[in-house]
Structure 1
Amino acid sequence: MNHISTQSPLESIDDGGLRQRARSVMEAERLSQAAAAKEIGVSGGALNQWLQGKYKGDNEGFDRAIEQWLSARSRRQEAASRIPSSPPFFTGPTARDILVTLAIAHADGDIVTITGVPGVGKTESAKHYRDSNRSVWLATMAPHCSSVVPALQEIAEAVGIKDMSYTGARPLYRAILRKTAETGGLLIVDEAQHLNVKCFDEIRSIHDATGIGIAFLGNETVAGRMTGGGRAGEHAQVYSRVGGRRYIPRPTIGDVRAQIEAWGVLNPDCITYAEEVAAKPGALRLVNKVLRRAVMHAGGVERIELQHLQAAWANLGGGQ
């Protein structure tokens, strides 16, 4: 953290306008003094004093730090304004299949798996389903969740447990049961390839105890992770309980066209090119990146042409 010298108090060169600009930014961005101070590189107490005109340190230096902060934020906002927003959730054939599979798990209180290559819309579909329904929770796993306690902590946070002082698997498990029992809910576990067999079994036991549906989302290795690499004995316990399996090897042409339509791109050459990009690793996610950059190159979606998609693809390292 940078420190503003307090050895030689100097009067502020600001007449109040700089303070008002700083306050306006903090109010507009709902930025606390502590958060603003962290961005500026000063202490919260010093910023509070400066805002009141009572700072006893190097006011000229403080003013300069504020000016630099405001200028940096302005540049970031200007850059962000040039980046087009992705369209809202769109429903292509694959997304519809995912939503139906989630709805079945939810309605029947069943366990399902939805697996496939990255970038085909699994996570976005899961978020859309969660946001469109009550008692649906989305817990996203990470590499550190390969053991039971971290996995349960992610689930506890997803279902809305505020007290995270639980230190063991049993207290976390019991808290999750209390929160989800008799809800008729659905727990979606994304990035499930990071879990080990014991994690899958622990989550299966949540299903058994509460009757909620469980959906495991992840890459094609999820089935192997659920069985520990084999289907014999205890390792098959979770896998054999799965009531529905949906594997997505690639996005369909309908998915790509739905995405392009959501962007408002009508040029047939652009549509064909986007279909080719969707065949690359990353699929629809990669198409979205290419379209975003192409719109920037073109200066608007209504002006987009094939050359803009090609330039965007090259900018992303395509063809290398």
Structure 2
Amino acid sequence: MTVFDSGPDDKLGPLRRVRAGVLDVAYHATGPPQGAAVMLLHGYPYDVHSYVDVAPALADYGFRVVVPYLRGHGPTRFIEAATPRSGQQAALGADVVALLDALDMPRAVLAGYDWGARAACVVAALWPERCAGLVSVNSYLIQDIGTAMTPISPYLESGFWYFYYFLTERGRAGLAADPRGVAEVIWRRNSPAWKFDPATLARTAEAFANPDYVDVVIHSYRHRLGYAPGAPTYADLERRLASQPAITVPAVTLDGMSDGNFPATDGNPAAKHFVGSRSHRRVPDAGHNLPQEAPQAFIDAVQDVARAHLLEKT
């Protein structure tokens, strides 16, 4: 494991690197090493700075907090040039398990939104023994790829313009040419009430300079819509995910009531996927990047799911 000085102003803790599965993962770590483990997982097109207020607060409460850059983002790198640059859900989940192994974490509370929530849901469903509890924005995010061609309302489809843009070579070229510009359009639609400034966007956009960013993102959206095959390594995991496995671990699910692309629900549409204890909360004035827009709601959710795990053990 390698530790770098990330500067005195970085509230996420020092930047570290560790080999985990197919990746050399860059991650921030803060809080006492003996504390209950929490892994905070970011989405697309975002990065670890979604947790700039959440991570230090959880560390102050005594949690051991790990905030990794996902594959294709920031300083995280693939170890081998021949490894497929997959962005599929099974790969994201497998990366989390590999990182838990590399950090000698038997289990952790897994918390995230967007790609990060999907990775957390995959681990909670397929490796429940590694997940002490789940915090997931937008509830159950394991993709049902078999029904990917079922249309949704035209209004919601319009918010997913980039799904279809990325199916084309024009979309690949557009993402490569201006990843920050693509992200800004998505941010504004996802979080219409969030008044982020140019510096906040620029800080996150630095993570898009990863040499594998375009390949991973493009594969993620093409795979989920059935336009690209998955990597053979993850074929068995994808078969298991196709059954939409239930989540048995304690869970808190969150919806931002100002999410422009994922309208808040009362939690009932996803209820059948949660067979353990689960609390669903709607967060006023928050959009899709909920931990950055409403950090206290996210902090409370992590604390509550950690307490639920302790109660289940007693």
Q: TM-score of the superposition, structure 2-length normalised?
A: 0.23
Give 1 or 2: higher helix fraction.
1
The structure whose Rg is larger is 1
Give 1 or 2: higher strand fraction.
2
Q: TM-score of the superposition, structure 1-length normalised?
A: 0.23
